[in-house]
Structure formats: structure tokens, C-alpha cells
A and B are shown apart, each in its own frame.
Chain A
Amino acid sequence: MNVRIGEVQTVEVGSSHRRGAGGAVLTAVLAILLAWLSPLRAAAPGDNAAPQVPDTLQQRIAACTSCHGVHGEGSPGSGFFPRLAGKPAGYLARQLMYFHDGLRKYAPMEYMVRSLSPAYMREIAEYFAAQQVPYQRSQVPHLPATTLQRGEQLVTQGDPALKVPACERCHGKSLTGVEPDIPGLVGLPYDYISSQLGSWRTGTRAAAAPDCMSEIANRLTPTDISAVAAWLATRQLPADTHALPAGSVTPPLVCGVLAGKGGDGT
């Protein structure tokens, strides 16, 4: 950079010699201009300068994107790191806070967020909520048709005998979630859904009281959990995968995460 600046100056000095006094003034003006510019230019990436680090949130959150994908697409290959793209921001921010406070137990995530401010967690949540990337399919274990039928029944109708409402009642008819707090269930890996339902039973995942997902997971049998996870994971994606607007559903249970709204019975 500095070499090029020097070259420009040499040319102008040469031209001032030809043009006389007027040229000298021009040279002086140019020299001042260059002197003013040079610190800026020195800071630009150059041959020997340190690598420039992009001042973007995406660059800052490499710790998140290395597992969840640059656009929050998840890692369908591993079947475990869930998709974050397009999930409601309120839901994602709440999950980060739950890891921070230990309501959700997963050591690598708890460590990741332990010294982050709520404002930064919110910004990270909004980044992933705003991402729009195609869904990818993940592997589903081979299960009998009757199991998948049971899964479909639980998701679309629920089971009054078990006092389990249909997933659709809260997560939306299209199962794409509802703004701002209810996540979509489409496009999630089988392993992830079944392990989350399991975590609600063992208390390693929890939400603000009353914790309706914990109540529901505890009413399901382990076979039912497999059935629900498998049917959801095999389901074709709807044309519009966006979360439904706020107020689209009336939850059948009173849920802490929904600020106590809902509860018209199952």
C-alpha cells in the first residue's frame, strides 16, 4: 500500500515541476489528501497486514454454526444437532436462557452460553430465526406401519384416554410452529425429537412452570415417543414452512412459556 502511495506522490511532484506555482499548490493539496488517506489505507488488508476478520454476527458465532450450520440448517447427517433456521426468535432466545439457567441440561450448550448476556443471546436467536434455507431429510429407523399410524394419530388427533392433546393444537395445523414462542416440528431428525421427548420425562429438559411439554411427554409411553418422532420425521414438508402468526392457536393446556395462556381442556 505505502509503495503505491509513494508512486502517486512522485508523479505529482514531477507534474508540479512542469506546471509551476499552481502545480505546487495542487501538489500540496494532494500531499495533504494522501497524508489524510494513508492511515485508512494502512488499515485495509495488505500484503503483510493481519488477516481481516469480518465484522459480522455470522463470524462472531462460529461456535454456534460449527454444529448447527452457518444458516442454522442443523446437521441432518449426525441426526442430533437440530435445525435452528426459521424457528421463532422468542423460542430460540428462551432455549438459550434455559441452557444458561440449567432448565435444559446439555453440558456443551450450558458451557457455551454461561457468560453471555441476555441481549447477545437474543441477537443470536434473531439471526437464526431470520435464516431461510431448504430443509434436508434425515434418516428414520424402519418401523412397522402400525407405529407410524399411531404417530400420525397422536400428532393430528391426540389420545383423549391418555389426556394427550394433538401436537397440532399448539404447534399449528401445518406443524411449522407459531410466533413467537412455539417451535415447528417439521424437518427435525428422528433422534432429536425422540431424545427431547425423553429428556422431558427425565427432567433434563424443562420449561417455565407449568411445563406442559413435560406433562405431555410423561403421559406418553416410550413406544408412543418413537411413533411420534418417526411420523414427524417422515412427514412431507408443507409448501410454506414459516411459523404461523401469533395467536393462530388456542393451546389446550396452561403453559408457562405461553405466559399462562390456553387451557380450554383437552
Chain B
Amino acid sequence: MKWLRRLVILIVLLVAVLGGRLFLGGHSDESAPGATSQVSAATLKDPALIARGKYLTTVGDCVSCHTEQGGADFAGGRILPTPFGNIPTPNITPDKATGLGDWRFEDFWRALHDGIGRHGEFLYPAFSYTSFTKVDRDDALAIFAYLQSLAPVHKPAKPLGLSFPYNVREGLAAWRALYFREGVYQPDPTKSAAWNRGAYLVQGLGHCNECHAARSAFGGTHALPLSGGRIPVQDWYAPDLSSRAHGGLQGWTEQDIVDLLKNGQAAKGAAFGPMAEVVASSTQYMHDDDLRAITIYLQSLPPRAAPAPAGPVPAATAMVNQGAKIYAASCADCHGKDGEGVAGVYPPLAGNSSVLDPSGLNAIRAVLLGGFPPTTAGNPRPYSMPPFAQKLSDADVAAVVSYIRHAWSNDAPAVHQRDVFKYRHTPIE
């Protein structure tokens, strides 16, 4: 089947290259780099605009992807792993040679809104322009003004870690036809201003759907928005965000959602894995109005279909019994014998979407890695969970995870020892 997929890719690519050339040919002279910008230099130096841009840049969490571990903020170099290869993020400081120093606002707008680079090339959608296209022009200008106000950092781009056919950018024409709809967010007049603000932030700058929806084999999101999905290669499961029946946040109050985004921890759960990073560098700094707006929007997401019952797993019974013993010995002290947790300190495991996610990924990796929720102004000294990778075998981790997915009100399928083996070796990028 692999050869068939390759053949299909090749044919699509050939068509796309032709289409892409035509498309870019028709667009290239419209806003050629080097032409004078309609935005004056004075506008970009407006302190109020820069301050607004700083906030919006934080809301968009640009720093997280555009900074490598230990590197200068916004100077790029972080490697984004994808199923198609590694994509290094670019330097977005205003360095002339290696950053955005020579960019005009029009160039920035075309990248953010259309996913097209300064030289007319298609950008890889690892840069989430599928969401950022919804950002309006005023906000984009503020972000650009802020980025241009940063100290320039000279840091050349790292080479693209993609091989054929994915290194042919024209091939993205096909991808774009399937998965990209350009257009600024259009408010829904039947909804409140707060709801619309929340929808704008979640769908646009917040780019929540980039993780919180399943991706197809070609890396696009066609799934129900915010219905949860596995983050490819990084191997975390970003949960469904509906707080209604069968949603991942079922039972979460407005305050719970705000607490998680602002403090990194709520009565119902704690941020860990990639979300800990999002809270640490972005959501904890959001204004209360915006957090409330996001919550109002998320709480309007529709109920979800009931999952198929996990059913009895005969072979798993012995494993679940073994898991119960491990739970009593190693987990119950903090999470409670009935998985009830301690509000705001140790997350409950009963009814917890990270325990119940369809893949079992999050529970397995949380047991292996342990860790701290992010430090925030509201929770500067968080309680932590010990890692168990060095203490429990693959079989024991599978047993205890299967137990907690099955105990109390929980009813999710058992996980396998082979999954634990695999995720034990998932690189932590």
C-alpha cells in the first residue's frame, strides 16, 4: 500500500506543481517585496500599537515555536517534528540578514493571512496560517510593529529536514486546496460580543485547533473543530474541548477553564505536556476578559456523541487486578483511593479526560514522565508527580493505566504493554 500512496502523492504533486506555478505567477507582481509599504515607519513605532502587539503576540504564543531551547526569544531554530520531517522555525526578530528586518507589513500580512512567504513561496502549514488567516489586519499590524521593535538577533535559518516529495513547496498547492480556507474571522451577529471575541481568539491567534483536532494522513484538519486529537510525532493527545455531554471538559465550570488557562491548574485537572508550555508562555498572561470570552466560546461547543462502551476485556482482568495493587501502593496517596484527587493540588483521575482519552497516550506518558504543572503567578510553587519510568516495567505501567481507565466511573479501553514500550522511547523535543 505504501507504493500506492507514493504514486498518488507523486501524481498530486505533478498537478500541484503546475497549479502552484500558475497560482504564484498570477500573484507575484501584486505585492512584490521592495515596493514601498503603505504603512509608514512612524506608525510602526507607535508605542501604543507596539504594546498591543506585544499582548497579541503573547496570546498567539509566537515565542514558543519561534524560540529554540536555551535560544534568544523569537530568533527561531526550534525544530517542529512532523510525520513528513523536521521543520525548523525561522527567526522573526528584525535582523536584516536572517530575520524580518527587510519585511514590510504587506509581506508579513501575506505570510500570516495567506501562508505565502516573502519571495512568493508557499509556507509549510507547520506555521499555523490555517488559523492565523482569521486574525484581522489591525491585530496583524500590531503584532508586526511589536516584532519590528525587538532587538535584532543574527541567527541564520537551520536547513529544512524534509525529503522528497515534501521538500517541493509547490506541492503545497494541493494541500492548500484540501485544507486551507483563507479569510478573516467574521463575527456571528446572533452571538454576544464576548462569544465572538472568544471564537476569534480560539479559532485565530490562539490556534487551538492545530492541536485539539485530529489530523489526516496528509496532516490537515478536517475533523470536527476542537474535538480532540493525537499530536503526531510528539505523541500527546490534545483533548476534546466541549464541556457538554461526552465532551472532554464535561463538568468543567467557567471557573475551572479560566483557572487552567491562568494558573495551569484547576480543580478538575492540571496542564502538562505541551499545554504546560502554552500556559507558561501564553495563556497565563491573558487578560481576564479574554479568558472569560474563550471560556464562553468553549462552553458553547456542542455535546459530543457517546463513545462506544469499552466492554469487558477478558485478558485484561488479571492486568487490571495487578494495576489496582500498583495504584494502591504508588498513586492513591495523592490521587485518592477513589481517584478523587485533591482539588487544585492533585488532579482527580475519575472522569479526567486525560485519563480517558481514546489513545491512552496521556495517562501512559504522565505515569512515565511525572512532572510539574507550569509555574504561574497564580500557582508559583506547584505540587508535582514523580516519574515512574525508572520504577515500573512496561507491563506495570500498562496495568496501572488500564486500571485507572477502568476504575470508578471510568470506562475506557485497556492499554497495551507495547504502547508503553513505544511511548517510553518517544523523544522529548
In the complex, residue of chain B having the shortest beta-carbon distance to the beta carbon of A80 = B390
Q: Is the CB of A115 within 8 A of B374?
A: yes
What bracket does the count of chain B residues touching chain A fall in? 35 or more
- Given contacts A50-B343, A111-B369, are A63 and B384 in contact (CB under 8 A)? yes
A120 / chain B contacts, CB cutoff of 8 Å: 375, 380-382
B279 / chain A contacts, CB cutoff of 8 Å: 115
B371 / chain A contacts, CB cutoff of 8 Å: 63, 111-112
Contact of B70 among A59, A64, A103, A112 (CB under 8 A): A103
Chain A 44-67 per-residue mask, 1 if CB under 8 angstroms from chain B, else 0: 000000110100010111111111
- Is the C-beta of A29 less than 8 angstroms from some C-beta in chain B? no
Contact of A62 among B276, B369, B383, B389 (CB under 8 A): B383
B residues 375-418 with Cβ under 8 Å of A? 375, 380-387, 389-391
B370 / chain A contacts, CB cutoff of 8 Å: 63, 66, 112
A53 / chain B contacts, CB cutoff of 8 Å: 334, 342, 345-346, 383
- Is the C-beta of B198 less than 8 angstroms from some C-beta in chain A? no
Contact of A102 among B69, B333, B380 (CB under 8 A): B69
Q: Is the CB of B280 within 8 A of A115?
A: yes
CB distance from A7 to the nearest CB of B (A): 29
- Given contacts A53-B342, A66-B387, are A112 and B372 in contact (CB under 8 A)? yes
A102 / chain B contacts, CB cutoff of 8 Å: 69-70
In the complex, residue of chain A having the shortest beta-carbon distance to the beta carbon of B427 = A107
B342 / chain A contacts, CB cutoff of 8 Å: 50-51, 53
CB distance from B283 to the nearest CB of A (A): 12
Q: Is the CB of A108 within 8 A of B387?
A: yes
CB distance from A263 to the nearest CB of B (A): 25
- Given contacts A102-B70, A115-B277, are A63 and B372 in contact (CB under 8 A)? yes
A12 / chain B contacts, CB cutoff of 8 Å: none
A236 / chain B contacts, CB cutoff of 8 Å: none
In the complex, residue of chain B having the shortest beta-carbon distance to the beta carbon of A113 = B372
Contact of B384 among A64, A67, A100 (CB under 8 A): A64
CB distance from A60 to the nearest CB of B (A): 5
B70 / chain A contacts, CB cutoff of 8 Å: 100-103
- Is the C-beta of A117 less than 8 angstroms from some C-beta in chain B? yes
- Is the C-beta of B428 less than 8 angstroms from some C-beta in chain A? yes
Chain B 263-295 per-residue mask, 1 if CB under 8 angstroms from chain A, else 0: 010000000000011011000000000000000
Q: Is the CB of B386 within 8 A of A50?
A: no
- Is the C-beta of B114 less than 8 angstroms from some C-beta in chain A? no
- Is the C-beta of B373 less than 8 angstroms from some C-beta in chain A? yes
B125 / chain A contacts, CB cutoff of 8 Å: none
A215 / chain B contacts, CB cutoff of 8 Å: none
Distance A60 CA – B342 CA, assembled complex (angstroms): 13
Q: Is the CB of A59 within 8 A of B383?
A: yes
In the complex, residue of chain B having the shortest beta-carbon distance to the beta carbon of A121 = B375
Q: Is the CB of B375 within 8 A of A117?
A: yes
A107 / chain B contacts, CB cutoff of 8 Å: 427-428
The SS class assigned to the A binding surface is helix
B residues 344-387 with Cβ under 8 Å of A? 345-346, 369-375, 380-387
CB distance from B374 to the nearest CB of A (A): 4
Q: Is the CB of A108 within 8 A of B372?
A: no
Listed residue (B382, B384, B389) with the most chain A CB atoms within 10 angstroms of its CB: B384
- Is the C-beta of B220 less than 8 angstroms from some C-beta in chain A? no
Distance A112 CA – B336 CA, assembled complex (angstroms): 23
CB distance from B410 to the nearest CB of A (A): 19
Q: Is the CB of B428 within 8 A of A110?
A: yes
Distance A117 CA – B428 CA, assembled complex (angstroms): 19
CB distance from A70 to the nearest CB of B (A): 11
- Given contacts A103-B70, A108-B369, A112-B370, are A57 and B381 in contact (CB under 8 A)? yes
- Is the C-beta of B340 less than 8 angstroms from some C-beta in chain A? yes
Distance A108 CA – B390 CA, assembled complex (angstroms): 10
In the complex, residue of chain A having the shortest beta-carbon distance to the beta carbon of B333 = A51
Q: Is the CB of B336 within 8 A of A62?
A: no
A261 / chain B contacts, CB cutoff of 8 Å: none
B373 / chain A contacts, CB cutoff of 8 Å: 115
- Given contacts A101-B69, A114-B276, are A51 and B336 in contact (CB under 8 A)? yes
Distance A100 CA – B69 CA, assembled complex (angstroms): 7
In the complex, residue of chain B having the shortest beta-carbon distance to the beta carbon of A123 = B381
Chain A 233-260 per-residue mask, 1 if CB under 8 angstroms from chain B, else 0: 0000000000000000000000000000
Distance A64 CA – B370 CA, assembled complex (angstroms): 10
A residues 115-171 with Cβ under 8 Å of B? 115-117, 119-120, 123
CB distance from B96 to the nearest CB of A (A): 26
In the complex, residue of chain B having the shortest beta-carbon distance to the beta carbon of A65 = B386
Distance A120 CA – B379 CA, assembled complex (angstroms): 11
Q: Is the CB of B382 within 8 A of A60?
A: yes
CB distance from B271 to the nearest CB of A (A): 8
Q: Is the CB of A60 within 8 A of B381?
A: yes
A residues 153-191 with Cβ under 8 Å of B? none
- Given contacts A101-B70, A102-B70, A107-B427, are A115 and B276 in contact (CB under 8 A)? yes
Distance A57 CA – B336 CA, assembled complex (angstroms): 20
In the complex, residue of chain B having the shortest beta-carbon distance to the beta carbon of A111 = B428
CB distance from A97 to the nearest CB of B (A): 9
In the complex, residue of chain A having the shortest beta-carbon distance to the beta carbon of B280 = A115
7 closest Cβ pairs, A-B complex = A101-B70, A66-B386, A63-B384, A115-B374, A102-B69, A117-B375, A115-B280
Extra contacts besides A51-B336, A63-B371, A113-B372 (13): CB < 8 Å: A53-B345, A59-B383, A62-B385, A63-B386, A66-B391, A78-B390, A100-B70, A102-B69, A108-B390, A112-B372, A115-B276, A116-B372, A119-B375
8 intermolecular pairs with C-beta atoms under 8 Å apart: A50-B340, A60-B382, A60-B384, A100-B69, A101-B70, A108-B428, A110-B69, A115-B374
